[in-house]
Every structure is written in structure tokens, then in C-alpha cells.
Amino acid sequence: MIEIKSKNVFVESVYKNGYSLTQLAEEVGMSQSNLSNVLGGRNGISPKKAKAIIGVLNVKFDDLFCITAK
């Protein structure tokens, strides 16, 4: 499962790139509620969506995400 490493670091990266969380969700084809669930640790994120996010934010995968076994 792919999870957010740090909600604070994730949100900071979003804002530094000029997006709101809602705008980022729209940009990568997610609902805002799904992104919220990922940030809250209630859901993991698909590899495809994680790749889209790191592409939009121009960061490395390991900066924002970690892979956990469940």
C-alpha cells in the first residue's frame, strides 16, 4: 500500500507549487474527498495517482510517499 509519509510535508509541497488541495485533486483526476481520505491515512493511494501527484508537484516519490505492507 502506498501512503503519505507526512501530511504536513505533503500540504506544504502542494501550497509551494501554487495549488490548493482541491485544485491538486482535480489536476490528477481524484475527488477532493478521496485525497482527504489519503491524507488522513484512511485510504492508500494508487501507484498511478501517486505518480501523477509527484509529476504535478515536481518532487520525488520518496519525498511524499512510502510503501507499507498490510
pLDDT tens across 47-58, in order? 999 999 999 999
pLDDT tens across 14-36, in order?
999 999 999 999 999 999 999 99
Please write down the long-range contacts of 9-13, taking CB distance under 8 Å and 24 or more positions apart. Answer: 9/63, 9/64, 10/39, 10/64, 11/39, 13/57, 13/59, 13/63, 13/64
**Scanning the structure block, which residue is given the C-alpha cell 516519490?**
61
The per-residue pLDDT for 24 is 97
The per-residue pLDDT for 69 is 86
For the chain, list the strands marked E by DSSP.
Answer: 2-4, 65-67
